[in-house]
């Protein structure tokens, strides 16, 4: 008899779900997959210890990659060195934790409406799930963690997973990013994928990105390649 196996899917996005949108060329949905049978408690505790050692209040601190890079809300008073150490600790967590990820993205230069954004995202998620259908064969339940930040994404997740996954799909309720390190990891994945897309499409790094990572080549070598082995 097949035992119970729950696959967690943590979902985050980058960009705004709107058109036209001169400030956000790409829209990304990131999916982080984790087998709940694999205990990551020691790694989570280590990440919390790291945060405490950096002087952060682990009861309220939540990792947000974009604001860390841009020195925005919550990080305005932190210098580059401290923000870099916080980022490096999350990267270390990402390298050691057992997870896989996949990103679906839309270049809004090639759409003419929000409906087209939704259609392309839906097709991208459906195609990915169909390609990986065999990997769901021994999964008895899929549990999706999404904070319902953008309603169209909630609808897409319901439609695509219910149709493509050969087992019951459950949506966690009241998801808050601060409660799940893997949700914060999904945030990191989306941010790195966005920068990868920009570089691949010939867009310059922002001043904040350049100050934080260095050149595109340095970013690819020192950051991106350390995470790409987790991509599926």
pLDDT digits (tens, 9 = 90+) for 91-125: 999 999 999 999 999 999 999 999 999 999 999 99
Percent of the chain with pLDDT over 90: 88
Q: Assign 198 a pLDDT band (cuts: 50, 70, 90).
A: very high
What single DSSP character describes residue 206? P
Reply yes or no on whether the pLDDT at 142 is more than 80: yes
More confident residue, 156 or 3: 156
pLDDT value at residue 1:
39
User: What is the arithmetic mean of pLDDT over 199-212?
Assistant: 96
Rounded Cα gap, residues 184 and 65, in angstroms: 8
Reply yes or no on whether the pLDDT at 127 is more than 80: yes
Nearest to 190 by CA among 21, 40, 24: 24
At residue 203, the 3 state secondary structure works out as coil
Asked if residues 15 and 6 have their Cβ atoms less than 8 Å apart, the reply is: no
Q: What six digits make up the tokens of 47?
A: 């990440």
pLDDT value at residue 149:
83
Reply yes or no on whether the pLDDT at 3 is more than 80: no
Tens-place pLDDT, residues 159-181: 999 899 889 999 999 999 999 99
What single DSSP character describes residue 39? -
User: What is the arithmetic mean of pLDDT over 14-40?
Assistant: 95
Q: Assign 151 a pLDDT band (cuts: 50, 70, 90).
A: confident
Buried b (16+ CB within 10 A) or exposed e, 41-66: eebeeebeebbeeeebeeeebbbbbb
User: What is the arithmetic mean of pLDDT over 184-207?
Assistant: 96
pLDDT value at residue 43:
97
Tell me the whole-structure pTM to 2 decimals: 0.94
Sequence-distant (6+) residues with CB within 8 A of 181 are 40, 44, 47, 63, 93
Rounded Cα gap, residues 183 and 174, in angstroms: 13
pLDDT value at residue 70:
97
User: What is the arithmetic mean of pLDDT over 14-25?
Assistant: 92
What are the DSSP E strand ranges found in 174-225? none
- Number of C-alpha atoms within 13 angstroms, CB side, residue 228? 9
Rounded Cα gap, residues 95 and 89, in angstroms: 10
User: What is the arithmetic mean of pLDDT over 49-57?
Assistant: 95
Asked if residues 205 and 214 have their Cβ atoms less than 8 Å apart, the reply is: no
Reply yes or no on whether the pLDDT at 2 is more than 60: no
Furthest-apart CA atoms within the chain: distance in Å: 56
């Amino acid at each position: 008899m097949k035992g119970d196996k729950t696959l967690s899917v943590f979902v985050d996005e980058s960009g705004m779900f709107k058109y036209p949108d001169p400030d956000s060329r790409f829209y990304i949905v990131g999916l982080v997959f984790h087998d709940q049978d694999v205990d990551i408690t020691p790694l989570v505790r280590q990440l919390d210890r790291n945060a405490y050692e950096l002087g952060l209040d682990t009861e309220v601190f939540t990792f947000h990659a974009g604001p860390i890079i841009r020195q925005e809300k919550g990080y305005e008073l932190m210098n580059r060195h401290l923000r870099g150490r916080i980022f490096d600790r999350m990267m270390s967590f990402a390298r050691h934790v057992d997870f896989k990820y996949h990103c679906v993205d839309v270049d809004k230069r090639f759409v003419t409406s929000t409906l087209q954004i939704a259609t392309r995202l839906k097709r991208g998620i459906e195609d990915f799930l169909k390609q990986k259908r065999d990997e769901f064969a021994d999964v008895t339940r899929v549990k999706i963690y999404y904070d319902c930040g953008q309603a169209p994404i909630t609808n897409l997740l319901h439609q695509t997973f219910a149709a493509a996954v050969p087992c019951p799909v459950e949506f966690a309720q009241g998801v808050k990013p601060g409660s799940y390190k893997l949700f914060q990891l999904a945030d990191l994945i989306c941010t790195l994928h966005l920068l990868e897309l920009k570089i691949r499409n010939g867009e310059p790094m922002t001043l904040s990105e350049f100050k934080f990572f260095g050149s595109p080549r340095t970013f690819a070598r020192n950051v991106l390649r350390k995470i790409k082995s987790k991509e599926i």
